[in-house]
Amino acid sequence: MTGFDTKLNEAIKKYNSLLCIGLDPDPNLLPIKDVALFNKEIIDATKDLVCCYKPNLAFYESLGMDGLQALEQTIAYIPSDIPIIGDAKRGDIGSTAQAYAKALFDIWQFDAVTVNPYLGKDSLDPFIAYKEKGIFVLCHTSNPGASDFQELTIQVDKNPHTLFQHIAAKAETWNVYGNVSLVVGATYPKQLKLVRDICPDMTILAPGIGAQGGDLRGTIQYGLNGDGAGLIINSSRGIIYASKDKSDFAKIARQAADQLRTNINIHR
Amino acid sequence: MTGFDTKLNEAIKKYNSLLCIGLDPDPNLLPIKDVALFNKEIIDATKDLVCCYKPNLAFYESLGMDGLQALEQTIAYIPSDIPIIGDAKRGDIGSTAQAYAKALFDIWQFDAVTVNPYLGKDSLDPFIAYKEKGIFVLCHTSNPGASDFQELTIQVDKNPHTLFQHIAAKAETWNVYGNVSLVVGATYPKQLKLVRDICPDMTILAPGIGAQGGDLRGTIQYGLNGDGAGLIINSSRGIIYASKDKSDFAKIARQAADQLRTNINIHR
């Protein structure tokens, strides 16, 4: 097990939770203007209910330097026993991929990151080389357009299957250090089942519960590994913006997180 | 024509150049420590030889806040008649893709960006909605691993072809505002020909000349559009690190840029 997997499994057990909260500060939805303070209050209200947090870098980058400073403060504030997944979906080649891995692991100090496989195995190697970190490869994403390319039928060894299944099978072969994981949207439970068949033990991050309308029961039924874990269920807007009122957003976020955690555990 | 295309074509004519210089500050190769000053000297030495500059965000992000400030200073320093392509290779969904588009176009103020198509059309829409900006969709990248997924044979309407050809054909249909372009590595001239057959008029960014050993003659032969343009040839390390000596790096970079620009023009 990698450092990330160990930390994740300990948090799953300690907080009896498969819930990941996405910390995605959208200026159109934020109840208060101060992003670092908003995240701090969300973390204070939910830190005993989650197995990890997942800030998506896009929202911080869209706020300029102030946003990046808020991300820095947020990462520093998250308790050290809770792993942090940097949702960056990076993908580049050679020394550039190495620079992204350095940025995400050495500068931002994420425990795990999301990466895009379109550029091929050599574009992911610099990430995988960080043996103690978690590498979540995009396999089948949660959006409607996921089917555009990920569900195309491909021919490999005269055996037709879809691109996302091919990527899942490849990810198995890449997983020599035990640090490769997958992203499969909770909005596609049938596809999740196909991926779990290919990768029986791999950790799967399933975003799309809540605002995107993902299927919680199907995600848990098909997504758990043999140990009843190996699955991270992410909700962002459905929790952090459950109330957009500055007087009670943290309290209502806790209620929403507690309810989702309980619902997940009922179906486990 | 979009604002970006107009600006690009004017720069191509004014400087008689299809050359793009990649501004990629790698700490292992930089002759001086100050990234903003290094870029400033490279720009001063080459600004009459290029049609655009292309900073890759990975290198700046890997240097932390200082790196991002150097990027900000670099963007501000590039003369306003030379377009800047933000090489970011972003790809995400819904409001997150929108946040990335905002970060790259409104915050960083790039004239164009590179994006990753794996997540599907809806992940690119927020970029394409910026009608005056250039959107370079990764089609066939320049790295060895490009063949892992991009060259898979897919079945669409019983017509087998490769994934990168399918993406080129899709990009044609996405190009309703005339702002969609493609990235095809100069290391794959045959694939570049196939893409040019599918997209006769689209602007193509061809990285991989120089350190990656791309085929200049083949790239020009197959990459030009009917007007003898529509092609941007990028070199990064081959120019900016042509000398790693702090006393002459700018002068030698100019020589390398001038030579490459001349070689490109001989083959046009």
CB A195: neighbour CB atoms within 10 A? 24
Q: Chain B: residue nearest A63 by CA?
A: B103
Which amino acid, B91? G
Distance from CA of B153 to the nearest CA of A (A): 6
> Cβ contacts (< 8 Å) between B103 and chain A: which residues?
58, 61-62, 64
* pLDDT higher than threshold 70 for residue B1: no
Residues B159-178: tens digit of each pLDDT = 779 999 999 999 999 999 99
B162 touches chain A (CB under 8 A): no
Give the model's pLDDT for residue B237. 96
Q: Chain B: residue nearest A59 by CA?
A: B99
pLDDT tens track, chain A, 268 positions: 679 999 999 999 999 999 999 999 999 999 999 999 999 999 999 999 999 999 999 999 999 999 999 999 999 999 999 999 999 999 999 999 999 999 999 999 999 999 999 999 999 999 999 999 999 999 999 999 999 999 999 987 777 799 999 999 999 999 999 999 999 999 999 999 999 999 999 999 999 998 788 899 999 999 999 988 999 999 999 999 999 999 999 999 999 999 999 999 999 8
Q: Chain A: residue nearest B101 by CA?
A: A62
Which amino acid, A143? N
> Cβ contacts (< 8 Å) between A93 and chain B: which residues?
141-143, 145
Contact (CB, 8 A) for A240 and A42: yes
Indicate the residue of B69, B89, B120 with minimum beta-carbon distance to A92. Answer: B89
Give the model's pLDDT for residue A210. 83
Helix and strand totals (H; E) in chain A: 12, 10
Distance from CA of B144 to the nearest CA of A (A): 7
A99 touches chain B (CB under 8 A): yes
Give the model's pLDDT for residue B84. 98
Contact (CB, 8 A) for B146 and A119: yes
Indicate the residue of A56, A92, A156 with minimum beta-carbon distance to B96. Answer: A56
The Cα-based distances of A116 to A79, A225, B206, B254 in angstroms read 28, 23, 21, 35
Task: Please list, in sequence order, all residues whose beta carbon lies within 8 angstroms of the beta carbon of residue B69, skipping any fewer than 6 positions away.
Answer: A65, B36
At residue B223 the predicted structure's pLDDT band, cuts being 50, 70 and 90, is very high
Residue B235 DSSP class: E
Indicate the residue of A92, A144, A149 with minimum beta-carbon distance to B118. Answer: A149
- Alpha-carbon distance of A136 to A125, in angstroms, equals 13
- Percentage of chain B surpassing pLDDT 70? 100
B169 touches chain A (CB under 8 A): no
* A86 beta partners: A113
Task: Please list, in sequence order, all residues whose beta carbon lies within 8 angstroms of the beta carbon of residue A216, skipping any fewer than 6 positions away.
Answer: A186, A209, A233, A260, A263, A264, A267
- Cut 0.90: pTM above it: yes
CATH T-level fold of A3-267: TIM Barrel (3.20.20)
- Alpha-carbon distance of B148 to B119, in angstroms, equals 17
- Alpha-carbon distance of B50 to B14, in angstroms, equals 9
Residue extents of the structural domains in chain A: 3-267
Q: In the predicted model, what is the mean pLDDT of residues B199-219?
A: 93
From the list A68, A105, A69, A64, the residue with the least C-alpha distance to A86 is A105
- Alpha-carbon distance of A92 to A100, in angstroms, equals 8
CB B217: neighbour CB atoms within 10 A? 12
Give the model's pLDDT for residue A212. 82
Residue A124: phi and psi, rounded to 5, are: -100, -20
- Alpha-carbon distance of A49 to A211, in angstroms, equals 19
- Alpha-carbon distance of A5 to B72, in angstroms, equals 37
The Cα-based distances of B171 to A30, B81, B83, B121, B176 in angstroms read 35, 27, 22, 9, 10
Residues B237-247: tens digit of each pLDDT = 999 999 999 99
At residue B7 the predicted structure's pLDDT band, cuts being 50, 70 and 90, is very high
What's the token pair of residue A52?
């990890």
Distance from CA of A227 to the nearest CA of B (A): 30
